[in-house]
Amino acid sequence: MKEVVKSLLTEYGLKWTINRSLYSAKLKTMSAIPVTEKFYEKNVNIKRVDIFNFDVPTIRTFLGELSEKDKVEITSIADKAINGIFNGFSSIELDYGKPINWHYNPLTGFESKKDVKWFEIPDFDSQLGDIKVVWEASRFTHLFYFVRAYLITENIKYYDAFSSQLRDWLEQNPYPYGANFKCGQECTLRMINVLIAYSVFSSCGVTTSDDQVNVKTLVKVCYKKVLSNFFYAHKCIKNNHTFSEICGLIVGAWCCDDEVEVKRAYKLLDKEIKKQFLPDGGFTQYSFNYHRFTLQIIECVYKLSEKTKVFITEKERIKNSVLLLYQVQDGKGDVPNYGSNDGALIFPLTSCSYRDFRPVLNTVYALIEGKRLYESGDFDEELLWFGSSICLPIEKVLRKTTFFEKSGFYKLQHNGGFLMTCLQNFNSRPAHMDQLHIDLWHKGINILCDSGTHSYASDLGKKLTSTAGHNTVKVSGIEQMNKRGAFLVTNWTKRKGVQLEDKSFKGTMVSNNGYEHTRHIEKNNLSYIITDKVLGLGEYADFYFHTPCEVLVTTRGFELYHENKLICKIITDGHVEVGKTYRSLYYLKKEEINCITVRSAITKNKCCMKFSLTLIN
């Protein structure tokens, strides 16, 4: 407990600790004295809901030109969603039944309590399982498939499903009861998704006055939730939730015709961009997926500005954040599975895969610069939804060796791929034990990969996010940092001694758990030499290499094969062992991969290791 208190005060800060304590006190007070709840509630009067205006004919034409395979996939996902089977977390089918049980976890078969208020429902319930599974249906992401399927087929059943599901949701979720009012971010996304779907169906002339009433009711209850609990997102969480809920404030205020609050929300957004996006483009949540999530919120705000006539002013950091992710992409749009990954693709408005970051990067860059990042492709659909045209000049940005020093990302480019390592000086809450992790990409293959997240509520998730889940070193079973529960990380590591040259990186991670790790990476054409030095107490050091490739142990190290073809040789003097583990590229989905462990003894508090990597074209 002493360690936790010290961490809260010195790492999270006194201000954060006070704010978090105040929020906890608020929840306890509302539970003990129910009448106090009204002090946090605000009356809202929804006057209009036409905040989105899309060029539906152009989008319909684009969808009509998709391949038959892509059209079938869109309509298939939509047809299943009509029957309560949703494409959860962009990866797994979740059956909530028909009629839909909006309080149900299909993975455990248990239902969350719907007759108690949101603040009386725990964040983690071992019987119910991951609460995010309950939320997934009520996020209404599947409405994007309804509108796209309707534009492809003009089949009225997709509108009927939208209308009936919205009506049923309101009947089954009276405010403020149940798990679906627990999170302001979920309420914001629900509000946005319903408004977008309503806008499209309305422009097609199929909506009714009852639909408008139901949309207004949903916006009202969701906006009330965001207003009553924004303090938590703004002062306590301080991550993607803050951005999404500010977006919710913009939407709700505009729908209430409250110009003052709209402008205030935009000012808050600009301040948050300066706080959470670093000058070189890094995002302080230390996650590429949440980085993308937040960029999708930004593109949504750009669309909202067409109606609000208020605009984001902090554009440079957003542009740089796009370029950072662009630099760590492979040719198909994928990026390292760095940091927390909860499976969120909040606006699935293209036929591209979940792992393809091109749709959002292209869209946000075009909104800011008026230029595209890529040649035309299926990812252009997202730009049609949030922008005005896809007929834009191309900005030719070269992928090259790039060091993002403030953000702690260091990328060495080679012919056919790149190597990325990370070494942060944390100024906000870390999530994964991934300091000096190495991600290696060659010929479109993530040869050395990150393990991912899997779930915030599973034992596997804890393992994958630990030190042993990354391509770094672990000293005698000691973690880089300490973790309590799903999110509280203490004893943050420090960065020191970073040295950068054209073809090399060197840096040291200082763990408060009693050791230092220095990693030196040198590039030479298609080879890398990695030199590690560990200083500290312990008997041994384990160096981990996670790979989806087949592994062959040799007398001098090991070789990696992709589809029976040699793709990488690694020479080392350490003792090599190969075992099976998992990685999770999608939330709640896992796949078996190989984990290579190279063990070396620590002698006189010191261990040195060298790895020579040669890539095969």
Provide the number of structural domains found in the chain. 3
Beta bridge partners of 283: 277
pLDDT on residue 4: 80
Is residue 467 located within the same domain as residue 547? yes
H-state helical runs in 456-584: 459-464
10 band by pLDDT with thresholds 50, 70 and 90: confident
Per-residue model confidence as pLDDT tens digits over 554-572? 999 999 999 999 999 999 9
Per-residue model confidence as pLDDT tens digits over 177-218? 999 999 999 999 999 999 999 999 999 999 999 999 999 999
Average pLDDT, the chain: 97
The CA distance from 335 to 550, in Å, is 21
By the 8 A CB rule, do 7 and 490 touch?
yes
Chain center to CA of 293: 5
What distance, in Å, lies between the first and last C-alpha atoms of the chain? 53
Residue 542 one-letter amino acid: D
Note if the bond before 348 is cis, omega within 30 degrees.
no
By the 8 A CB rule, do 311 and 305 touch?
yes
Q: How far is CA 265 from CA 183, 254, 260, 309, 591, in A?
A: 19, 10, 9, 13, 42
pLDDT mean over 419-440: 97
Q: How far is CA 40 from CA 36, 105, 224, 227, in A?
A: 8, 30, 10, 8
Is residue 316 in some structural domain? Answer: yes
Is residue 501 in some structural domain? Answer: yes
Q: Cα-flanking dihedrals φ and ψ of residue 587, to 5°?
A: -60, 135
pLDDT on residue 289: 98
Last residue within a domain, chosen from 375, 396, 417: 396
2 band by pLDDT with thresholds 50, 70 and 90: confident
Tokens matching residue 191:
């509000």
Q: Cα-flanking dihedrals φ and ψ of residue 139, to 5°?
A: -70, -20
Is residue 261 in some structural domain? Answer: no
Per-residue model confidence as pLDDT tens digits over 266-298? 999 999 999 999 999 999 999 999 999 999 999
* 396 CB burial (10 A radius; 0-12, 13-18, 19+): exposed
Give Cβ neighbours of residue 603 (< 8 Å, ≥ 6 apart): none
Per-residue model confidence as pLDDT tens digits over 433-449? 999 999 999 999 999 99
Residue 208 one-letter amino acid: T
Is residue 381 located within the same domain as residue 461? no
pLDDT mean over 420-432: 95
Is residue 337 located within the same domain as residue 433? no
* 579 CB burial (10 A radius; 0-12, 13-18, 19+): exposed
Is residue 406 located within the same domain as residue 382? no
The answer to whether the predicted template modeling score (pTM) of the entire model surpasses 0.75 is: yes
Supply the DSSP string of 269-334, one letter for each residue.
Answer: HHHHHHHHB-TTS-BTT--HHHHHHHHHHHHHHHHHHHHH-------HHHHHHHHHHHHT--TTS-
pLDDT on residue 426: 94
Is residue 329 located within the same domain as residue 450? no
DSSP 3-state assignment of 79?
Answer: helix
pLDDT on residue 209: 98
Is residue 26 in some structural domain? Answer: yes
Q: What angle do CA 34, 36, 39 make, to 5 degrees?
A: 140
Is residue 574 located within the same domain as residue 490? yes
Is residue 531 located within the same domain as residue 588? yes
Is residue 547 located within the same domain as residue 407? yes
Q: How far is CA 291 from CA 17, 361, 589, in A?
A: 25, 11, 21
Give the domain extent around 609.
402-615
By the 8 A CB rule, do 524 and 600 touch?
no
Last residue within a domain, chosen from 340, 369, 396: 396
Is residue 610 located within the same domain as residue 463? yes
Is residue 479 located within the same domain as residue 563? yes
H-state helical runs in 65-102: 68-82
The b-or-e profile of 434-473 (16+ CB within 10 A means b, else e) is bbbbbbbbbbebbbbbbbbbbbbbbebbbebbbbbbbbbb
Per-residue model confidence as pLDDT tens digits over 303-355? 999 999 999 999 999 999 999 999 999 999 999 999 999 999 999 999 999 99
Lowest mean pLDDT among 8-17, 373-382, 509-518: 8-17
Spatial CA neighbour of 333 closest among 446, 467, 479, 195: 446
Is residue 345 located within the same domain as residue 387? yes
Residue 379 one-letter amino acid: F
Is residue 435 located within the same domain as residue 385? no
pLDDT mean over 240-259: 98
The CA distance from 524 to 540, in Å, is 30
pLDDT on residue 3: 76
Residue 18 has pLDDT above 90, yes or no: yes
Give Cβ neighbours of residue 130 (< 8 Å, ≥ 6 apart): 105, 107, 455, 456, 457, 458, 588
Largest Cα–Cα separation, the chain = 78
Per-residue model confidence as pLDDT tens digits over 533-551? 999 999 999 999 999 999 9
Q: For CA atoms 97, 102, 103, 106, give the dihedral sign.
A: positive
Note if the bond before 176 is cis, omega within 30 degrees.
yes
The CA distance from 489 to 572, in Å, is 33
5 band by pLDDT with thresholds 50, 70 and 90: confident
8 band by pLDDT with thresholds 50, 70 and 90: confident
Residue 485 has pLDDT above 90, yes or no: no
Please state whether beta strands 557-562 and 110-111 pair in parallel, antiparallel, or not at all (unpaired): unpaired
By the 8 A CB rule, do 255 and 264 touch?
no
Q: What is the total residue count of the chain?
A: 617
CATH code for position 564:
2.70.98.70
